[in-house]
């Protein structure tokens, strides 16, 4: 594993993302509510730019009875949705929400002296 400098924390404020090219890989680095995440920007489905997609909390639905609408609510897990066909991945683990056999590579992010690094 190699630590690679991405940027100073001031260059990636809360709510922003940065797409970088490292060693031939496109990688998205995110600041979500002060926590940093990094993932491959190549969707395992058909190679779409997954890190340009929507980020939000996982939408969950509870079965409440036959013939009744499911009760929807947002769960604690953050999800990244690919803009091409909507595949969704857990931001923390990269695992696909519908099929745990599929995953998006994710990277460890660290901050040292206000500089953001990822391990690739």
Q: Cβ 80 to ligand FES, closest distance in Å?
A: 10
Candidates 20, 32, 45, 105: give the one binding ligand FES (CB under 6 A). Answer: 45
CA angle 46, 74, 58 (to 5 degrees): 20
Q: Is 28 in the site for ligand FES (CB under 6 A)?
A: no
Q: Is 25 in the site for ligand FES (CB under 6 A)?
A: no
Candidates 12, 26, 84, 120: give the one binding ligand FES (CB under 6 A). Answer: 84
Candidates 27, 38, 40, 48: give the one binding ligand FES (CB under 6 A). Answer: 48
Candidates 46, 54, 71, 73: give the one binding ligand FES (CB under 6 A). Answer: 46
Please count the other Cβ atoms lying within 10 Å of the Cβ belonging to residue 82.
24
Spatial separation of the C-alpha atoms in residues 80 and 90, rounded to whole Å:
6
Q: Is 18 in the site for ligand FES (CB under 6 A)?
A: no
Q: Are 94 and 78 in contact (CB under 8 A)?
A: no
Please count the other Cβ atoms lying within 10 Å of the Cβ belonging to residue 59.
12
Q: Is 35 in the site for ligand FES (CB under 6 A)?
A: no
Nearest to 59 by CA among 43, 45, 77: 77
Binding mask 85-104 for ligand FES (x = CB under 6 A): xxx-----------------
Spatial separation of the C-alpha atoms in residues 58 and 56, rounded to whole Å:
6
Q: Give me the residues that bind ligand FES (CB under 6 A), please.
A: 43, 45-48, 50, 82, 84-87
């Amino acid at each position: 594993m190699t630590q690679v400098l991405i940027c100073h924390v001031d260059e990636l404020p809360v709510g922003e993302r940065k797409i970088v090219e490292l060693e031939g890989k496109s990688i998205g680095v995110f600041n979500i509510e002060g926590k940093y995440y990094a993932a491959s920007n190549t969707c395992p489905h058909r190679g779409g730019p997954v890190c340009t997609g929507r980020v939000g909390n996982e939408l969950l639905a509870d079965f409440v009875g036959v013939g009744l609408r499911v009760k929807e609510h947002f769960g604690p897990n953050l999800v990244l949705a690919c803009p091409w066909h909507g595949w969704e991945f857990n931001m923390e683990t990269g695992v696909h929400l519908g099929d745990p056999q599929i995953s998006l590579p994710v990277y460890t992010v660290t901050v040292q002296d206000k500089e953001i690094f990822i391990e690739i």
